[in-house]
Structure 1
Amino acid sequence: MRSWHGAAVTALVTAFVLTFLGVPATAQAVDAIDAWGGVEERPCPVAMPSGTTCGFLLVPERRDVPNSRTIKVGFAVRRATPPSGDSEDPVVFTGGGPGSPSSPLTGLLAGMFPDRDVVVIEQRGGRYSEPRLSCPEIARGMVATLTAPPKGTPTDTPKDTQKDTQKDMPEDTGEAGDGAATEIYPGILDEAEACLVRLQREGVDLRGYRTAEIAGDVVDLRRALGYQRWNLFGVGYSTRPTLRAAALDPEGTRAVVLDSFPPAEAKRYDDAAPNLAATIAKLGGTARFAAMVTRFNAVPAVFDTRDPINGRRISLRLTGDDVATLVEEALHDADLVPIVPALVDGLADGRTGLLRPLVDRMGERLTSRDWGLYYAVQCQDEAPFNDFPGDARPRLSAVVADAAVCGAWRLPPSRNGWAQQDAAAQVAAPVLVVGGQLDPAAPPESAGRTAAALPGARFTEFAGVGHAVFLSSDCGRRTIAAFFDDPASTGAAACEPGKAPRPLVRPGDVLLTPSAYQATVTPALLAPGVVFVIVAAVQLLAGLVAPVRRAARNTARRRGAPAALSVLAGLAGVAFGGLSALDVSGRAEPAMLAIGVPPAVAWYGLLIVVATVLSGIEAFRLHARAVRIVPVLTGLACLAWFYGWLVA
C-alpha cells in the first residue's frame, strides 16, 4: 500500500498538472499517477499556437526492469479556446519515423481540430525528449557512403567471398540476409558503432526504446493529464504504438485514426522494393523506372552539392539503387509526389540535374531524424523479422544501410515484434484507416485488407496522395476531423477522396530543366530576364509618350524613329514577361518548378527575338541616340540566358 507520504506527493503532482495544463479534474487522475507518471513544466521547444503549454512526462526507461532510471518524454497541450464539450475528448498525436518529431505539427493539428484540445507527444529518445538519441555520427556515415563506392557488392564479389564478409550471427537475431549484409558500408558501420559506444557510455539502455514502451508512454500521459478518454491519431510508424496504446487503454480510448498504416504482416525491408515497383506501376512508369535504375547503376551520377552536416562542398556518387531510394522518399513528400512521373522519365534519359530537389530533401531527412532512436526501434521491432532477400531489385540503399547498422548493433529482437495482431484484436474503439494511393511504405491495398479485419474499422483511400495523407490532402484532414466528431457515423464522406488534390505532372506536361529549381532557390539567377522586361517596359512607355511630347513642342519627326518601333519592341518584351509569369505562377502545377517549366515558355522566347530585332532597327538607324543600344544589348543578353541556361 502506498504510504501517506507517497499519497501526498501524488496529490501535489496532480494539483500541479491540473493547474498548469488547465484540464478538467477527475477522480481517475489522482489514482492513475504512480511513482513515474508525473509531469514537469518546461518552455515549449518550438513555436506553438496560442494557448499551448509544454512539459515532460516522467517515465521509466524500461518498464520491465525494477528501479529503471527515469527519462523524460516531451509533450505539448494546445487548449481549445473557448473550451467546448469536444475539448473533453482531445486528440493526441504522435509523429512517425521512428525518430520524427511531433511538436512542429501542433499548429496544423490545432487547425484541424479547433474545438478540441490537441495533445502532441514526442517519442522517447526523440529530439524534444530527454535523453535524445540523435546519433549525428550515423548521418555523417551515410554522407560518407555516398561519396565513395561501397566495399564489395554481389555483382562483383564471388558468392563464397560474400559469405565471408557477413557477421556471424544467429538466424533469429534479425541480421540481414545474404543480399543485404554483403554490401557493407564502412562509413556507416564505423559511425554507427561510435554512436552505440557513446550512448552506452551515457547510460542509455537501448532496449527501453521500442514500440511497446512508446505505446506505454501514450497511456501514461492520458492518466497523468487527467483526461477520462481521448482520441488517438498516428501516422506511418506511429500507427503501431497508437494501435497498441488503444489496446492497452480501452476505457480511455474514444476513437482511433491510423494514417498510412503498415499492417501487422508487413515486412518493411523485404517488401520495400516490391512496394515501390507496384507504386511506380500505378503511375505507368515501370519501363522508364527500370531504364533509370539500369542507366545509373551502369554509370553512377556524380553530383556536386553541400554536405548537410557541415556545409562543405562534396561530390555525391549516386547509383541507380541510390536514385531509386530518392524516388521512394519523394513519394513521402507532398510537394514532390506530383512530379514523380515526369521526373523518372527525365532521369531515364540521363538528365542528372533533375536530382537536385531530391538531393536537397535528402539533406533535410538526414538532419531531421534522430537516428539513434530510429535504429533502436527498427533493430528490435522490425529488422529481426525480415529476411533481406539478396535478389530484391532495386536494392534500395536505405534497406542495405539499416541491415548493416542493425547487424552491428546486435540488439535483441522484441519478443513478439510489433505484436499488432494481438493489439488489433483487443481494440474496441471505432477505427478509421486512411491511406494514400501512391504510398510505397504503407500500400493502401494491404492497409485496406487489415482494416477490414479490424472490428468496427473502416478504410478510405485518397487518390494522388503518397505517405501521410493528412499532410498532403485537405480532403484527408476533413475526413479525419469528421470521423472524430462522430466515430459511429457511416454516412457520406466529408469530401471526394477519389479526386487527387494536385494533378500529376506527366512526361510532356513539362519542359524539363534543372534551371527552374535553381532559380526558385536563388532568385538572383532570374536577373537577366527581369532586367530585360524592365527595359522593355521603359521602352514601351517612352514610345507611347514620345508623340505626345513632340506634339506639345510642335516639332517635326525628322530625327525621331517611328514611335511604332519603340512601342512594338517594348510591347513584345513586356508580353514575354507577362505570359511567362502567368504560365509559371497561374496555370502551372507548383511542383512542376522543381523539374522544369511549362512547355509554352520556350515559345515565349520568340518574343525576346522580336523585341531585340525591332530595337536593333531603331538603334542603328541614321542619327539614332546612343541610348537606343541599351534595349539591344539587354535583349541579346536575355536571349543567351534564356536559351543557353533557362530552357536548355
Structure 2
Amino acid sequence: PIVFLTGGPGQPTDIGDREDIEAWWQFISDQNWMIGRRVVVVDQRGIGKSIPRLSCSRYFKADHWNSISLSVDAEISFDKLIRDEVVACRSALMAKGIDLFAYNTTENAADINDVRKALGIKKWVLYGVSYGTRVALEVMNEHPEGISASILDSVLPLDIDYLKEDGKNLDRSLRLLERDCQKSKNCMRGLGNAVRAIVKQLDKQPVLLRSDDGENAPAQYRYVSGTDFLELIFGLLYDRYAIEDIPKLIEKTYENDFRPLADMIFEHDDTEIAQGMDFSVTCSETNRSELPDKRLEYWTKWIGEADYTWVCPLWFPQGMTVSQKHPRRLDIPTLLLSGEYDPATPTHWAYRAAKSLPFGQVVVLRGIGHDVIDSDPCGSEIVADFLANPKRKLKTGCIGQMQAPQFTAAAQEQWQRPATQRAAAAIRSPKQMRSPFRFRHRAAAAHFLQR
C-alpha cells in the first residue's frame, strides 16, 4: 500500500465530492506505479475532513479581501483586517477547547502510524510532497517499523528552518533562470539587471493595478511593490510551464507594460488551506524570519514568508520554543526527487536529507519546479523503477532527454491565458500549497492605471 501525505502545512487531500474522487482516480491512472496498489489518502489532523478542523475560512473570506481592494488606498485597511482576523480565528478555535500546541509534525507523524495500525497494514510506502516529505521523514524517524520504502517529492528536511531560507532559495532559482536565459534567443539580455531595477523602482513607487472581473463586478485595485513582484516570481517558479513565461513577464514589466503583471498578480488558487494548522505548525517549527544575507544578489529587503513575523506572536502570544529535529540514520530505501528550479524546497535540501539515508537516492530533474512527479512523466518513470526494486540503483535514462525551459518568444503574446491559468486548468492533483497570504485577489482581465 501507498499512503499519500499532503503539503502545506494545511493542505487538504480534496476528497469532498464526486469531482474530487474522479480527479484522484485520474491521477492514479496516470501514475502506472500506483495501479494495482492500495492508495491511502489521509487528511492530517486539523485539515480537510479531520475533526476538529483548524480552518479560519470564516475569518479569511475572499469577499473581505475583495471589498477592501475596491479602495485604491487599501493597504493600511487590508493589513489591519488580516491581523484582526488572525486574532479572531485563534480566539474562536481556543473557545472550542482546541489546544493549538498539539498541531505539529511530531503529532502528525504519530497519527499516520496510528492510521497504519488501524487499517491492519504491516508495512506501507510513504509518498509525501513538500511539507508532506517532512511528515514522512518524521514517521521514518519515530516509527520506522511500519515502512517498506519512501518516496519524497520536493524534500523538506527535518533540520531546516525553512522560513529563514526562502530568500536564499529564490536567489538561487533566479540565478539559474538568468543562466538559462543567456542561452536562449527568446530572453532579453541583462535579465538579472532588469529584476533588480524592477524591484528597486516598485519598492520606491509601487504601481496601482486595476482588475475588471466582468461587466457586473466592480473593479478591484492593488498597489504592487517590489516585494510583491518577487512573491509572484516565487510562486511562478513552482510550475514548469509558468517558468517559461517568467522572462517575458520580467521584460514587459521592465518596459512599463504592466498588463502581464496585473493578469498574474490578481490570480489565486481556490484550494482552501487550513490556516490554523499552517500557523500552528509553522510557528512551532521555525524561528521568525530575518533579513536576508547581504550577499543576495537580487534584492536587499525581501524576507521570504514575512507575514509570519507578525502572525506567530499573535498566534502564540505567550511565546513558543522552536522544536529542534535531528534526523536519525535509517536503512529505509528512499527516493528523493527534486526540481532544478524549485524555489521552496531546493535541490541541496534533498541531498541534505539523504545524508542520514544510506539507501537514499537523489534525482534532480532539469527545468522542473515544485512537485516533480506531477510535472513530468520522467518522474513517474523513475518512481516505477524504484518501487520495482527499492535498493537497486535507479535507471534514470529519461533525465538525459529533459531540456531547459523553452522560454516564450518576444512575438508570442501568452497573456490572454497566463501560465497560472493554464496550470489551474489541468486536472487537479496532490500539490503542495503555499502560505494563504501569497495570492489574495482574483480577476480576469486587467490593466494599469497611472498612480
Deviation at 1:435, TM superposition (A): 0.3
Q: Which residue of 2 aligns with 1:238?
A: 132
Residues in 2 aligned to 1:99 and 1:484: alpha-carbon distance in whole angstroms: 28
Greater percentage in helix = 1
Q: Does the alignment pair 1:466 with 2:369?
A: yes
Q: Distance in 2 between matches of 1:356 and 1:471?
A: 27
TM-aligned CA distance change 1:359 to 1:378, over 3 Å? same
- The aligned residue for residue 407 of structure 2 is 505
Once the two structures are superposed, residues 138-163 of structure 1 have per-residue CA deviations (whole angstroms, 9 ceiling, x without a partner) of 46577759965756xxxxxxxxxxxx
Q: Please state if 1:315 is matched with 2:221.
A: yes
**Cα deviation digits, residues 403-461 of structure 1 (max 9, x gap):** 111121126535634x2x33x42x32111111000001111133224324422111000
Distance 1:501 1:200, change over 3 A: farther
Cα displacement string for residues 235-280 of structure 1 (whole angstroms, at most 9, x for unaligned residues): 1111111111122222210001111112344332222112111101
Check the 8 A contact 1:383/1:406 in 2, yes or no.
no
The 1-side partners of 2:158 and 2:251 are apart by 34
Is 2:208 aligned against 1:302? yes
Question: 1:558-578, CA deviations, whole angstroms, 9 ceiling, x for partnerless residues?
Answer: xxxxxxxxxxxxxxxxxxxxx
Say which SS state the counterpart of residue 374 (structure 1) adopts.
helix
Cα distance, 1:364–1:415 mapped onto 2, change above 3 Å: closer
- Counterpart position of 1:604: none
Q: CA deviation at 1:498?
A: 4.4
Alignment match, 2:46: 125
Give the Å deviation of 1:499.
Answer: 3.9
Q: Distance in 1 between matches of 2:135 and 2:260?
A: 37
Corresponding letter in the other structure for 1:99: G
- 1:109 paired with 2:109, answer no
Distance 2:210 2:277 in 1: 30
Question: Among 375, 384, 394, which residue is 1:481 paired with?
Answer: 384
* AA of the residue aligned to 2:272: S
Quote the Cα distance in structure 1 between the aligned partners of 2:340 and 2:171. 13
Native 8 Å contact 1:234 1:257 kept in 2:
yes
1:268 to 162, 172, 178: 162
2:41 is paired with a residue whose SS is: strand
1:371 pairs with one of 256, 259, 275: 275
> Secondary structure at the residue paired with 1:470?
coil
3-state SS of the aligned residue for 2:269?
Answer: helix
Quote how far apart the aligned CAs of 1:210 are: 0.8
Letter in structure 2 aligned against 1:109 = I
Residue equivalent to 1:98: 9
Structure 1 position 429 matched with structure 2 position 332: yes
Q: 1:186 aligns with which of 63, 80, 95?
A: 80
CA contact (8 A) 1:250 1:428 kept: no
Distance across 2 between alignment mates of 1:305 and 1:387: 33
1:338 equivalent to 2:240? Answer: no
- What secondary structure does 1:432 align onto? strand
Alignment of structure 1 residues 134-283 onto 2, 5 Å: 134-136=55-57, 137-138=59-60, 144=68, 148=73, 185-283=79-177
Give the direction of change, closer, same or farther, for the CA distance of 1:340–1:389 in structure 2 (3 Å limit). Answer: closer
C-alpha spacing 1:192/1:122, structure 2 compared with 1 (3 Å): same
Aligned Cα root-mean-square deviation (Å): 3.1
The residue type equivalent to 2:312 in the other structure is: C
Q: Where do 1:514-525 residues align within 5 Å?
A: 514=415, 516-517=416-417
Task: Report the Cα distance in structure 1 between the residues aligned to 2:258 and 2:403, rounded to whole angstroms.
Answer: 28
Counterparts of 2:162 and 2:382 in 1: how far apart (Å)? Answer: 27
Question: C-alpha offsets along residues 30-58 of structure 1, whole Å, 9 cap, x if unaligned?
Answer: xxxxxxxxxxxxxxxxxxxxxxxxxxxxx
- Residue type of the alignment partner of 1:340: I
Q: Distance in 2 between matches of 1:509 and 1:448?
A: 37
Query: What is the identity, as a one-letter code, of the residue corresponding to 1:280?
Result: L
* Distance in 1 separating the partners of 2:72 and 2:42: 37
| Structure 1 residues 283 and 252: CA distance shift in structure 2, 3 A | same
Cα distance, 1:95–1:110 mapped onto 2, change above 3 Å? farther
Kindly state the Cα deviation for residue 281 of structure 1 after the two structures are TM-superposed.
Answer: 0.8
After TM superposition, what 4+ stretches of structure 1 lie above 6 angstroms from structure 2?
none
Say whether the 8 Å CA contact 1:277–1:286 is kept in structure 2: no
**Contact 2:166-2:304 at 8 Å conserved across structures:** no
What's 1:382 paired with? 286
- Give the secondary-structure state (helix, strand or coil) at the position aligned to 2:164: coil
Q: Structure 1 95/109 Cα, relative in aligned 2: closer, same or farther at 3 Å?
A: farther
Question: 1:346 offset after TM fit, Å?
Answer: 2.0
Aligned to 2:306, what secondary structure does the other structure show? helix
Give the CA deviation at 1:101. Answer: 1.8
Q: Unaligned 5+ residue runs, structure 2?
A: 15-19, 179-190, 426-451
CA distance in 2, matches of 1:249, 1:429: 11
Write out aligned runs for 1:626-637 (5 A): none
Q: Distance in 2 between matches of 1:189 and 1:236?
A: 27
Rg comparison, structure with higher value: 1
Distance in 2, matches of 1:499 and 1:296, equals 39
| Amino acid paired to 2:398 | E
1:474 Cα offset (Å): 1.1
Separation of aligned partners in 2, 1:372 and 1:199? 8
Amino acid at match of 1:129: S
Q: CA deviation at 1:389?
A: 5.0
Deviating more after overlay: 407-416 vs 194-203: 407-416
* CA pair 302-509 structure 1, distance change in 2 beyond 3 A: same
Are 1:260 and 1:467, in contact at CA under 8 Å, matched by a contact in 2?
A: yes
| Identity across matched positions, percent | 27
SS across alignment from 1:219: helix
Secondary structure in structure 2 of the residue aligned to 1:119: strand
In structure 2, distance between residues paired with 1:499 and 1:414 = 47
Q: Deviation of residue 133 (structure 1)? A: 1.7
- Cα distance in 2, alignment partners of residues 214 and 305 from structure 1: 40
CA distance in 2, matches of 1:200, 1:390: 37
- Aligned residue for 1:260, secondary structure, equals strand
Shift of 1:193: 0.8
Contact 2:47–2:274 (Cα < 8 Å) also in 1: yes
**Does the residue aligned with 1:454 lie in a helix, a strand or coil?**
coil
Q: Secondary structure at the match of 1:321?
A: helix
Q: Which 5+ residue runs of structure 1 have no aligned equivalent?
A: 1-89, 152-183, 522-589, 594-648
- Residues 244, 147 of structure 1: alpha-carbon distance in 2 compared, 3 angstrom cutoff: farther
**Aligned 1:82-97 pairs, distance under 5 A:** 90-97=1-8
1:481 CA displacement: 2.5
The alpha-carbon distance between structure 1 residues 484 and 217, as it changes in their structure 2 partners (threshold 3 A), is same
Give 1:97's aligned amino acid.
G
In structure 1, the residue corresponding to 2:162 is in which secondary structure? coil
The answer to whether the aligner puts 1:291 opposite 2:193 as a matched pair is: no
3-state secondary structure, aligned to 2:195: helix
CA distance in 2, matches of 1:371, 1:125: 9
- Structure 2 distance, partners of 1:139, 1:276, is 29
- Is contact 1:102–1:120 with CA below 8 Å preserved after alignment? yes
Which residue number corresponds to residue 416 of structure 1? 323
